[in-house]
Amino acid sequence: MIKPQPTIALDTMGGDHGPEPIAMGGIEAARRFGIRVTLVGPHSQLTHFVDVAGGAPPTLSIVAAEEWIAMDEEPVQAARRKKEASINVGLGLVRSGEADAFVSAGSTGAVMAASLFSLGRLRGCDRPAIAAFLPHRQGGVLLIDVGANVECRPQHLLQFAHMGSAYLERVMGRKEPRVGLLSVGEESTKGTDTVQEAHRLLTRSPLNFIGNVEGKDLPSGMVDVVVTDGFTGNVVLKAAEGIAGYVVSELKHSLKSRLDYKLAGKYLAPGLRKAWRSLDYTAYGGAPLLGVNGIVIICHGRSSATAITRAVEVAGDAASRGLLTHVQETLRS
């Protein structure tokens, strides 16, 4: 299953800013890294973007899909009905073996539903889950699930831990990832009944389980994979984005409050921008949907071209390092 030169099917539709930044990000990934990228979307627009970008790199191709699924459509119905939508066309390329991974910045619900219909689940995975990085100075923490399953049983949380750990170890190269269970206190008796039972299952698992972790531990560098249900994970991920953005805007505001601060602030701007980039959660290369029988990377709807380039690169790494085989192995262990 490990291919040296994987092909990435990139859905160019459904993003907040239209197909342009997504197509441009894909073209850049093909040009800069020589990744085989198949842009999926409206043919005439995509050829136009390729022209604007100075022509197609040798590893770039286009597959037409004139339909798409909008953010406000009921995702399960739309994924089932719209066979010609870019999400279904792109996933079809993965199912047929023409592509090794699928990347989309479209409706998360539609990508999840269509992935289940097209690819099915891996054996041993009851509930696919979305894993997202929260960056910090030591490289970031993988939070799983951030929205696929708003309600979870203890067994699901155990499976998330296995899948997140395999992803971090095999794709991101982090040795024996430390797995934490998100709760309201360190003690194993803290949290809901589901969390307490998941703690028991994780303790008996072969994973490097370090016990419960709290919200404050997320950016601490003490844990690599944080397991939680998709409701809590989604709320925390979005709160982290909102609060990081707020803190930075507050500091900017403070620096502008006096003329002398303003001048010094301008002087410091490059340093502040660098720090801010390391905190810009939308710049990270998408979040893998783990547990489906294929590599699927979900990007933020407002992803920039740079974020898409990074996501295509991550998808390529996941394919060439055999993510599916590793996740399947850990689920069976």
Our finding on whether 77 is near its own copies (CB under 8 A) is: no
Does 240 sit near its own copies (CB under 8 A)? yes
CB of 17 to its own copies, least distance (A): 18
Asked if residue 76 binds its own copies (CB under 8 A), the reply is no
Least distance to its own copies from the beta carbon of 207, Å? 21
Are the C-beta atoms of 11 and 293 separated by less than 8 Å? no
Q: What is the enclosing helix (H) or strand (E) of 94?
A: helix 86-95
CA 27 vs CA 31, 100, 199: distances in Å:
6, 17, 45
Q: Which of 118, 232, 293, 309 lies at the binding interface for its own copies (CB under 8 A)?
A: 232
Contact 308, 134 (CB under 8 A): no
Residue 135 CB, nearest distance to its own copies (Å)?
10
Site for its own copies in 38-57 (CB under 8 A): none
DSSP codes, 196-262: HHHHHHHHHSSSEEEEEE-GGGTTSSS-SEEE--HHHHHHHHHHHHHHHHHHHHHHHHHHTSSHHHH
Cβ nearer to its own copies, comparing 238 with 332: 238
**1 or 247: CB nearest its own copies:** 247
* Token pair for 263: 């001048």
Q: CB of 69 within 8 A of CB of 108? A: no
Site string for its own copies, 249-278 (x = CB under 8 A): -xx-xxx-xx-xx--xx-xx--xx-xx--x
Binding site for its own copies (CB under 8 A): 136-137, 147, 150-151, 182-184, 191-193, 195, 214-220, 228, 230-232, 234-248, 250-251, 253-255, 257-258, 260-261, 264-265, 267-268, 271-272, 274-275, 278-279
